[in-house]
């Protein structure tokens, strides 16, 4: 069906742009809907400035137009006609690095580096306007730019250092690397930092090959549905479309996963979460691929979904996978001593439930990748994958190829935090390259990244702890239930880690831990910094504070009393030689100038506070928990 707006993706209306970019005059005819960032990155192949959000929020795309800093993802390409554009690629006119870039390098103001070109542009704008900018003015100047991993202090240090060097109040030699006899205890520079502060480093979305095609993916709008009919005929017939891939095109074993092989690379007759990939279009341009995606017809038979792990475990709940009765994805148990007896002997038993929510990694670099065939038939996938060896093995099985005919190259990761550990799109890319025998690139939009990628596991932790009056812990029972979402991804590993580390570094004679990861029709949960330890440790440390309150004890003293010592054995029977936990605690207390203060009100015999989760407090948000329709639907 043609686009009712009359837009023809294969022959979009064009506009002629003449501009001076980084000192060179350029003239190009480009699609009329291009933004400035498309012109600079896709047309001129100047990839120093990145696209992070595509919505004017993150600042990674910041560049100068006639000397004014703009967010190039928001500006239509016509804005630069007849004007002068400066990008980060050539800020120092091929001389190397500007003083500001050198200061970023010197101060260690770049981790993943994805935000840094935008930061450098914003810093340059600030110091051009206000050469003697105060710290507050620097902060204001950088206010439209977001960093997810360096943190802002080093960036602010770098801008202040650059300001002082440019003003002559600090010698330029301060930008040089300090001589050192040892790297231990001294500030060392990252080898890749110059490429990051100049924008020269290539992330996956910056990669380009001659004859390259572009991929876009149709994703499910439904959380649980059977696919009755999938018609890609119209999309396939569109001019400029090279191929449309579905699960029928998978030559090998289409069932992969880090721990449990439960996931097809595209939906196989069934969708289990909103955002699941159904079909991939490969076309001459991303616009054509996007248009073709709209022309894929799917008839769904909608099924009831289950969105709460406790509901999912109940009898009669919709079942997501035939091999997982009760929707149990992973149940990790730790048993030590006799918890019931321990609780019976305790002077104080404290029970509480703790909850953590799903979290989006929100790395600035959205997922992207490029796949191509080598002359010897080896398929190569370049993507910011944090687990390339495992991905390579999974790809070989999916593609039905020997391992030596599959290559994964880890491109620079623009922030991952665990979110790029689970494989998501690399299989589709490899398939596309094999089918078309041309390089194929795929770049997620920010919306797609949020809809389709795994999140941190939300946990509900029922905690019971028994203690002696003096503070010794005698028993701990933790029952943790976590929403694993539609596919296992890293859930089994996360359950193991949360169970193993859950009771904390404390000597406890009686321990009972259940960590249960459950399938639901929510976005899959996956690896995220701390891999499950964060959730269970949050509960343990919160619970210790609560117990200290009830005992009228200093919470630091309660921990010191129970911390493992040299020669301890962990709850999973690992013997420990030396344990520095007490020294660590004491150092932290000294650094924080810890003051135990007065005993908590409950320990003083006063009633508990009612302003924290008690009656009269605001109910938690229930947005998005509505029921789903169960009719047949066609999109
Ligand atoms: S502000 Fe333009 S990409 Fe985020
Ligand atoms: S260095 Fe800023 S987002 Fe990674």
Question: Could you report the per-residue pLDDT of 286-300, keeping only the tens digit for each?
Answer: 999 999 999 999 999
Give 568-606 pLDDT, tens digit per residue. 999 999 999 999 999 999 999 999 988 877 666 666 666
How many other C-beta atoms can be found within 10 angstroms of the C-beta atom of residue 347?
Answer: 13
487: confidence class by pLDDT, cuts 50, 70, 90: very high
Nearest C-alpha neighbor of 379 from the set 330, 322, 426:
426
Ligand number nearest CA of 50 is: 1
575 exposure class (CB count in 10 Å sphere: 0-12, 13-18, 19+)? exposed
Lookup: tokens for 584: 């660590």
Compute the mean pLDDT over every residue in the chain, rounded to the nearest whole number: 93
b/e sequence 4-26, b meaning 16+ C-beta within 10 Å: eeeeebeebeebebebebbeeeb
Strands 62-65 and 84-86: antiparallel
Angle formed at CA 338 by CA 332 and CA 340, multiple of 5 degrees: 95
Q: How far apart are CA 194 and CA 106, in angstroms?
A: 10
Residues with CB under 6 A from ligand 1: 51-54, 56-61, 71, 73
631: confidence class by pLDDT, cuts 50, 70, 90: very low
Tell me which of 8-17, 198-207, 489-498 is least confident: 8-17
609: confidence class by pLDDT, cuts 50, 70, 90: low
How many other C-beta atoms can be found within 10 angstroms of the C-beta atom of residue 308?
Answer: 16
What's the gap in Å between 588 CA and the centre of ligand 1?
39
Beta carbons of 88 and 63 less than 8 angstroms apart: yes
Q: How far apart are CA 83 and CA 85, in angstroms?
A: 7
What's the gap in Å between 412 CA and the centre of ligand 2?
12
How many other C-beta atoms can be found within 10 angstroms of the C-beta atom of residue 237?
Answer: 11
Give 69-85 pLDDT, tens digit per residue. 999 999 999 999 999 99
Q: Above 80 in pLDDT, residue 632? A: no
Closest-CA residue, ligand 2 atom 4, reads 112
Lookup: tokens for 271: 């969708």
Ligand number nearest CA of 446 is: 1
Q: Above 80 in pLDDT, residue 493? A: yes
Which one is predicted more confidently, 95 or 486? Answer: 486
The pLDDT of 387-411, averaged and rounded, is: 96
Output phi, psi for 366, to 5 deg.
-65, 160
404: confidence class by pLDDT, cuts 50, 70, 90: very high
Q: Above 60 in pLDDT, residue 628? A: no
177: confidence class by pLDDT, cuts 50, 70, 90: confident
What's the gap in Å between 55 CA and the centre of ligand 1?
5
Ligand number nearest CA of 196 is: 2
Q: Which atom of ligand 1 is nearest to the CA of 51?
A: 3
Q: What is the DSSP letter of 510?
A: E
Three-class DSSP category at 358: coil
The pLDDT of 240-245, averaged and rounded, is: 98
pLDDT of residue 633: 42
User: Who's near 362: CB < 8 A, 6+ residues apart?
Assistant: 148
Category of 483 on φ-ψ map: left (φ > 0), alpha (ψ -120 to 50) or beta: beta
How many other C-beta atoms can be found within 10 angstroms of the C-beta atom of residue 357?
Answer: 13
The pLDDT of 340-358, averaged and rounded, is: 97
Strand order in the sheet with 632-634: 270-271, 225-231, 297-302, 632-634
Beta carbons of 110 and 190 less than 8 angstroms apart: yes
What's the gap in Å between 273 CA and the centre of ligand 1?
28
Strand order in the sheet with 328-336: 328-336, 510-519, 473-485, 459-467, 348-355
User: What single string gives the DSSP state of each residue in 532-567?
Assistant: THHHHHHHHHHHHHHHHHHHT--HHHHHHHHB--TT
Q: Which atom of ligand 1 is nearest to the CA of 73?
A: 2
Q: How far apart are CA 99 and CA 175, in angstroms?
A: 8
Residues with CB under 6 A from ligand 2: 110-116, 147-150, 364, 415
Torsion from C-alpha of 380, 385, 386, 391, nearest 10 degrees: -50
What's the gap in Å between 258 CA and the centre of ligand 2?
27
Q: Above 50 in pLDDT, residue 164? A: yes
What's the gap in Å between 39 CA and the centre of ligand 1?
15
Tell me which of 50-59, 91-100, 177-186, 503-512 is least confident: 177-186
How many other C-beta atoms can be found within 10 angstroms of the C-beta atom of residue 448?
Answer: 19
Ligand number nearest CA of 41 is: 1
Ligand number nearest CA of 150 is: 2
3-state per-residue secondary structure call for 590-621: HHHCCCCCCCCCCCCCCCCCCCCCCCCCCCCC
Mutate to test the pocket of ligand 2, among 50, 53, 59, 116 (most ligand atoms within 8 A of CB): 116
pLDDT of residue 295: 97
pLDDT of residue 620: 54
Chain-centre distance for alpha carbon 500: 24
Category of 475 on φ-ψ map: left (φ > 0), alpha (ψ -120 to 50) or beta: beta
Strands 379-383 and 406-410: parallel
What's the gap in Å between 53 CA and the centre of ligand 1?
5
């Amino acid at each position: 069906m043609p686009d009712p707006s009359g837009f023809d993706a294969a022959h979009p209306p064009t506009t002629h742009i003449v501009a001076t970019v980084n000192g060179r005059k350029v003239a190009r005819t480009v699609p009329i809907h291009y933004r400035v960032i498309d012109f600079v990155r896709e047309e001129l192949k100047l990839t120093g400035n990145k696209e992070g959000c595509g919505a004017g929020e993150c600042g990674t795309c910041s560049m100068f137009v006639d000397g004014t800093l703009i967010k190039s993802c928001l500006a239509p390409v016509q804005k630069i006609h007849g004007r002068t554009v400066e990008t980060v690629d050539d800020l120092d006119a091929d001389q190397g690095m500007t003083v500001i870039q050198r200061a970023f390098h010197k101060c260690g103001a770049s981790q993943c580096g994805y935000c840094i070109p935008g930061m450098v542009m914003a810093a340059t704008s600030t110091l051009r306007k206000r050469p003697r900018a105060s710290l507050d003015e620097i902060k204001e100047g950088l206010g439209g730019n977001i960093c997810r991993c360096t943190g802002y202090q080093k960036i602010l240090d770098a801008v202040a250092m650059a300001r002082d060097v440019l003003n002559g109040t600090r010698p330029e030699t301060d930008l040089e690397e300090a001589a050192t006899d040892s790297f231990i205890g001294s500030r060392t520079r990252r080898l890749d930092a110059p490429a990051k502060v100049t924008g020269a480093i290539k992330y996956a979305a910056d990669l380009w090959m001659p004859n390259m095609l572009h991929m876009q993916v149709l994703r499910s709008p439904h959380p649980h549905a059977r696919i009755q009919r999938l018609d890609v005929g119209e999309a396939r017939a569109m001019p400029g479309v090279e191929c449309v891939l579905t699960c029928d095109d998978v030559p090998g074993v289409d069932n992969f996963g880090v721990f449990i092989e439960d996931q097809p690379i595209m939906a196989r007759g069934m969708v289990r979460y909103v955002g699941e990939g159904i079909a991939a279009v490969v076309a001459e341009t991303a616009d054509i691929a996007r248009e073709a995606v709209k022309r894929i017809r799917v008839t769904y038979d909608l099924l009831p979904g289950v969105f709460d792990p406790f509901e999912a475990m109940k009898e009669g709940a919709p079942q997501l996978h035939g091999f997982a009765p009760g929707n149990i994805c992973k149940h990790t148990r730790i048993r030590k001593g006799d918890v019931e007896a321990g609780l019976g002997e305790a002077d104080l038993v404290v029970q509480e439930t703790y909850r953590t929510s799903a979290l989006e990694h929100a790395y600035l670099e959205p997922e992207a990748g490029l796949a191509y065939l080598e002359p010897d038939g080896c398929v190569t996938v370049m993507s910011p994958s944090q687990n390339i060896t495992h991905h390579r093995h999974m790809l070989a099985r999916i593609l039905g190829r020997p391992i030596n005919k599959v290559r994964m190259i880890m491109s620079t990761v623009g922030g991952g935090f665990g979110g790029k550990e689970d494989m998501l799109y690399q299989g589709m890319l490899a398939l596309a390259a094999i089918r078309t025998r041309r390089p194929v690139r795929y770049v997620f939009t920010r919306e797609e990244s949020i809809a389709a990628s795994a999140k941190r596991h939300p946990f509900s932790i029922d905690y019971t702890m028994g203690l002696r009056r003096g503070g010794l812990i005698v028993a701990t029972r933790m029952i943790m239930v976590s929403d694993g979402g539609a596919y296992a991804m890293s859930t089994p590993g996360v359950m193991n880690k949360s169970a193993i580390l859950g009771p904390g570094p404390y000597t406890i004679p009686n321990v009972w831990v259940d960590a249960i990861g459950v399938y639901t029709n929510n976005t899959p949960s996956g690896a995220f910094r701390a891999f499950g330890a964060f959730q269970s440790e949050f509960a343990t440390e919160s619970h210790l504070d609560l117990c200290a309150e009830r005992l009228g004890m200093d919470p630091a003293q309660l921990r010191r009393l129970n911390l493992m010592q040299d020669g301890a054995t962990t709850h999973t029977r690992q013997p420990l030689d030396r344990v520095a936990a007490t020294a660590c605690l004491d150092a932290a207390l000294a650094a924080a100038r810890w003051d135990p203060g007065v005993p908590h009100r409950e320990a003083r015999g006063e009633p508990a506070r009612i302003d924290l989760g008690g009656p009269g407090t605001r109910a938690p948000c229930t947005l998005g928990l509505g029921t789903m329709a169960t009719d047949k639907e066609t999109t």
